[in-house]
Amino acid sequence: MKTGLIAVAAILGVLLLSGFWYVSTGNGLVALDENVNTSWSQVESVYQRRADLIPNLVNTVKGYAKHEADVLESITQARASVGQIKVNSPEDLKKFDAAQGQLSGALSRLMVISEKYPDLKADKNFLELQSQLEGTENRITIERQRFNETARLYNTAIRQFPGSIVAGNKGFKERAYFAAKAGAENAPEVKF
């Protein structure tokens, strides 16, 4: 009789410890998932900052470069397309990243155009906006790195045993990373 009670107590103890472990691991995964969501919000925030700077930059350039309408239009279109993408999957992240790349390319063309206009290059508003845009580009890089790091921690936790058991039961899915553009591993060719 006494050994039966000990066996039942041992089984209940194991079940109780297993339950605590399961809940604790699940809560840890939820916390990691929320860290990834928070990190993604920061990425979106700095991209939004860049998007907010663009109309002011375009309007400043318009006054000096009236016949560069095609570049100004491409920036406006790229900015609009970026705002329409919602990221819910790895494929969406690729689309979002591609749209951001198009916007970056259009902004680069705008900066090249500014070289043609000495008055524009000396304009106080343009210089301030250019400086803010450069700072924002640096912030984007930093926030993307932070996002990748939090996504890595989360992905590791849901793939490693024993967390993978809880992750599978609770439906936690792997998060995508920002990746370098194709060809980024090659140094650009410089010709003089």
Which pLDDT does position 36 carry in this prediction?
94
Parent domain of 105: 40-164
- Whats the size of the chain, residue-wise? 192
Structural domain includes residue 100: yes
Structural domain includes residue 8: no
Domains contained in the chain, number: 1
Structural domain includes residue 9: no
Work out whether the CA dihedral 16, 18, 24, 29 comes out positive or negative.
negative
Structural domain includes residue 82: yes
Q: What is the CATH number of the domain that holds 112?
A: 1.20.1440.20
Structural domain includes residue 93: yes
Structural domain includes residue 69: yes
Structural domain includes residue 58: yes
Which pLDDT does position 192 carry in this prediction?
34
Residue-by-residue pLDDT tens, the chain, 192 positions:
788 888 889 999 999 999 999 999 999 999 999 999 999 999 999 989 888 888 888 787 777 666 667 777 788 888 888 878 888 788 888 888 888 888 888 888 878 777 777 777 677 777 888 888 889 889 999 999 999 999 999 999 999 998 999 999 999 999 988 876 665 555 555 443
Which pLDDT does position 92 carry in this prediction?
85
The answer to whether 95 and 178 are in contact (CB under 8 A) is no
Structural domain includes residue 183: no
The answer to whether 79 and 72 are in contact (CB under 8 A) is no
Q: Which pTM does this prediction carry? A: 0.73
For 37-73, what is each residue's pLDDT tens digit?
A: 999 999 999 989 888 888 888 787 777 666 667 777 7
In terms of Cα–Cα distance, which of 102, 104, 100 is closest to 147? 100
